[in-house]
Amino acid sequence: MALYEHTFLARQDLAQAQVDALAETATKIIEDNGGKVVKTETWGLRSLAYRIAKNRKAHYVMLEIDAPGDTVAELEQGPTVMMRKQERDRERRSDREGGRDGAPRGDRGPRRDREEEAA
């Protein structure tokens, strides 16, 4: 098995007990997938190089992992914040270019209740 270092950041408003719980959750995921955590280092609340979601600080935790490669992929749960933002931006662009029914916003036709009033 390969050795990996996995460092994650937790928001500054979390209590240390919550950060420890996140580390335990990551450890459980690793052990469930056939790996083991060799060492856990809690670096504490530290300043970020730049703001992330209006936060200036974060709790840093580093895990040394002895596990197969797919276990590390299992730790990365879902898209990152930046990927979610890109997806939202793409959806907004497609709404501006054409609505969900394919028609541009201005050409959707009369609303149903206006059609009923006209009849």
- pLDDT per position as a tens digit, 64-90: 999 988 888 888 765 666 666 777 777
Confidence (pLDDT) at 106: 54
Q: Dihedrals φ, ψ of 88, to 5°?
A: -60, -45
92-112 pLDDT per residue, tens:
777 766 555 555 555 555 556
Residue 37 and residue 63: Cα distance in Å, rounded? 7
Q: Which residue has the higher pLDDT, 22 or 81?
A: 22
Q: Taking a C-beta distance cutoff of 8 angstroms, is the pair 74, 26 a contact?
A: no
Confidence of residue 91 (pLDDT cuts 50, 70, 90): confident
Residue-level pLDDT at 82: 62
Domains of the chain from N-terminus onward: 2-97 (3.30.70.60)
What global pTM score does this model have?
Answer: 0.63
Q: pLDDT value at position 7?
A: 92
Lowest-pLDDT choice from 24-28, 50-54, 106-110: 106-110
Q: Rounded to whole angstroms, how far apart are CA atoms 73 and 58?
A: 23
